[in-house]
Chains A and B, each alone.
Chain A
Amino acid sequence: MSVIVEGLVRRFGTTAALDGVSLAVRDGEFVALLGPSGSGKTTLLRVLAGLEPQEEGRVAIAGREMAGVPARERGIGVMFQNYALFRHMNVFDNIAFGLSVLPRGRRPGRAELTARVRELLRLTQIPELERRWPDQLSGGQRQRVALARALAIEPRLLLLDEPFGALDALVRREVRRWLRGLHDRLGITTILVTHDQEEAMELADRVALLESGRIAQFDTPSALLAAPATPFVAGFLGEAARLEGQVAGGVLRFRLPGLPPLAVALPDGPATAFLRPREVVAHPAPEGPLIRLVRATAEGEARLVVELAEDVTLDAVATPHGAVQGEWPRRQAACRLEITGAQVFGAGGARGMAGALRLAEVR
């Protein structure tokens, strides 16, 4: 079921939670709404579900205008952040709820209803929980019950609000993969709200990054990383460090010492560069910025924190890549920094020109 959102506005008092959001989700797609808290992602989800009114703009789901259509008539499966299971009903009755409130004509009989619920329990891999009560379930089990309950109404659009928030890291990873597999099997258009970029990047076909009520960029995960559209996107994704500099004659010079100048296709003026840790490589050198911390990642890579100036540090990796070995890299050693690439935005804010850079030969 395709979803089209155009110029959506929703205000709470004087602040606009949604400030002109436009978005087109294709049938069968898995889309993540990603953004810091307060960026409007949950509000967008609630407007789609019919739980918040839209003030301006339009929402069309499967070609049907949604203005004035109440939540109960939308046929959208929603999984709430805290799952919102009915605590006075056991698992079976929770899942059966959507079927048992159908108008009399379309309501399945007892035998059919039982069969449908059992099928959903099998699908979500919790058949043994049928007679349990919500208070007796773990977070992961509750999540599966909530999902089964949402799927019971056979929705063609599934909305998930921070579905992994209540799970511990280990379960989270596993459930994520399982959920994506389920999506691929059922083909239900799915929109997921999350503040966790790793989650969004791993799960979604496309990610919409929200910034204070607007969509900053809506693209595939790899495109978001390779070509961020705005400084906000570049800064939000991939733990990038933000550094100010000055462009003159196609060369960007940083304000801080210890960083080499970069070639960049931008007009003269101030510029902002975003450097990801992997794009900053430290080489052994007799003098230069000092290494403050060395940490070996699980993959055996050496991650460094380099001090550029007092209280200004930069994440970097060390060459040669590979295991942390003997003398280099070590704390308090001097190094020479090489920058293999960066996202650079010129003055004038939004006019972002991503510069794929090579090391400048100029000195």
Chain B
Amino acid sequence: MSASLALPHRARRLRAIPGFGLAFGIALFWLSAIVLVPLLALLLRPFELGLAGLWASLAEPRVAASLRLSFGAALLAAAIAAPLGLLLAWAVVRLRFPGRAVLDAAIDLPFALPTAVAGLAMTALLAPNGWVGGPLGEWFGWRVAFTPAGIVIALVFVALPFTARTVEPVLRDLGRESEEAAATLGATRFQTLRRVVLPALAPAILTGFGLGFARAVGEYGSVIFIAGNMPMVSEIAPLLITIRLEQFDYAGAAAIGLAMLLLAFAVLLALNLAQRALRRGQG
């Protein structure tokens, strides 16, 4: 306690935001009211089942499969969206072509669209009788809709704006000069990319990956249309939560929520630590 009370004394330098105490207090209050209190409820609810009941609820094969699918698909989708987003940001920042402003605006569309609409559109496209799904099935024997592959595609769609928009300002800020400097020092394009551009962008790419992952793991609307929702195969955890809610199994739903919360927190914490390691020495 006394240690935390001593904190304000260190903050005697001139700052734009007034008073460490005031700013910290307001931040903590809103964080508590909006995030921590509801989460606390989520933490407590599942224990109505008792520890054994909670474990039994989560150990159900259907729940374990849905969690594996949700997190696996979200990680994969974020991993696909990160390089794609980097390319998009690159095109918008560096290249000059007709329709650039349109592309720039289009990046944000997944933010604005109700994701259910996107899900319906993608299902129509990728379904076995759709424009894209048809040829894919005929020529390659691939089935995308109603499989985990379809889920990943839907999640890439919702994660992409996050990865593109987090890299974009950093890329703009990086400027051409450091690339030009690398070139005059004799670096090839590949060496410039690997040793100068990517390391400078790495923290932003990682942030974008984290945001994209977080968005994807909780995504519901667009996925349920394309997933097919077969238990054990293409049923995501958020859907399972809804199903339990509809069966008035509130504690059971909260149990899955708790599991998602802990897993997501672990992933985001790991990303944050990795980012800290990347930024060491800079700034």
* Chain A residues packing against B (C-beta within 8 Å): 49-51, 70-78, 80, 82, 84-90, 97-98, 101-102, 133, 135, 149-150, 152-153
Q: Which of B181, B182, B200 contacts A88 (CB 8 A)?
A: B200
9 more CB-based (< 8 A) A-B contacts, given A86-B178, A101-B186, A153-B186: A49-B180, A50-B183, A72-B187, A75-B186, A78-B184, A87-B200, A97-B182, A97-B187, A150-B184
Contact A98 B180 (CB under 8 A): no
Tell me which residues from 179 to 195 in chain B have a Cβ below 8 Å from any Cβ of chain A. Answer: 180-188, 191, 195
Contact B178 A51 (CB under 8 A): no
Contact A101 B188 (CB under 8 A): yes
Asked whether A51 and B200 contact (CB < 8 A) given A101-B185, A135-B283, the answer is no
The reply on B61 being an interface residue by CB < 8 A is no
A-B pairs, top 4 by smallest CB distance, nearest first, are: A98-B185, A84-B177, A84-B181, A71-B183
* Chain B residues packing against A (C-beta within 8 Å): 175, 177-178, 180-188, 191, 195-196, 199-200, 202, 281-283
Asked whether A72 and B186 contact (CB < 8 A) given A84-B180, A101-B191, the answer is yes
Asked whether A71 and B184 contact (CB < 8 A) given A84-B177, A87-B200, A97-B195, the answer is yes
Contact B183 A70 (CB under 8 A): yes
A88 to B177, CA, bound (A): 14
CB nearest neighbor in A for B198: A88
Contact B180 A80 (CB under 8 A): yes
CB nearest neighbor in B for A87: B282
Asked whether A49 and B184 contact (CB < 8 A) given A86-B200, A88-B200, A97-B195, the answer is yes
Asked whether A80 and B183 contact (CB < 8 A) given A86-B196, A87-B282, A90-B281, the answer is no
Contact B184 A101 (CB under 8 A): no
B166 to chain A, nearest CB (A): 17
Asked whether A101 and B183 contact (CB < 8 A) given A84-B177, A88-B200, the answer is no
A172 to chain B, nearest CB (A): 21
Q: For B188, what are the chain A residues with a Cβ–Cβ distance below 8 Å?
A: 72, 101
Q: Which of B175, B180, B195, B200 contacts A71 (CB 8 A)?
A: B180
CB nearest neighbor in B for A80: B177
A75 to B181, CA, bound (A): 12
Contact A133 B184 (CB under 8 A): no
A87 to chain B, nearest CB (A): 6
A134 to chain B, nearest CB (A): 8
Q: For B177, what are the chain A residues with a Cβ–Cβ distance below 8 Å?
A: 80, 82, 84
A244 to B200, CA, bound (A): 57
CB nearest neighbor in B for A71: B183
A165 to B175, CA, bound (A): 19
A102 to B186, CA, bound (A): 7
CB nearest neighbor in A for B202: A88
Contact A77 B184 (CB under 8 A): yes
Q: Which of A72, A102, A150 contacts B183 (CB 8 A)?
A: A72
Listed by A's residue number, 13 A-B pairs whose Cβ atoms lie within 8 Å are A49-B180, A72-B184, A72-B187, A76-B184, A86-B181, A88-B202, A89-B199, A97-B195, A98-B186, A101-B187, A101-B191, A150-B184, A153-B186
Q: For B186, what are the chain A residues with a Cβ–Cβ distance below 8 Å?
A: 72-73, 75, 98, 101-102, 153
A225 to B196, CA, bound (A): 45
CB nearest neighbor in B for A106: B186
Contact B183 A84 (CB under 8 A): no
Q: For B182, what are the chain A residues with a Cβ–Cβ distance below 8 Å?
A: 86, 97, 101
Contact B199 A78 (CB under 8 A): no
Q: For B181, what are the chain A residues with a Cβ–Cβ distance below 8 Å?
A: 78, 80, 84-86, 149
Contact A88 B185 (CB under 8 A): no
Contact B185 A149 (CB under 8 A): yes
Contact B282 A153 (CB under 8 A): no
A102 to B200, CA, bound (A): 21
Contact B195 A101 (CB under 8 A): yes
CB nearest neighbor in A for B279: A88
Contact A88 B199 (CB under 8 A): yes
A47 to chain B, nearest CB (A): 13
B268 to chain A, nearest CB (A): 23
B142 to chain A, nearest CB (A): 41
A76 to B183, CA, bound (A): 10
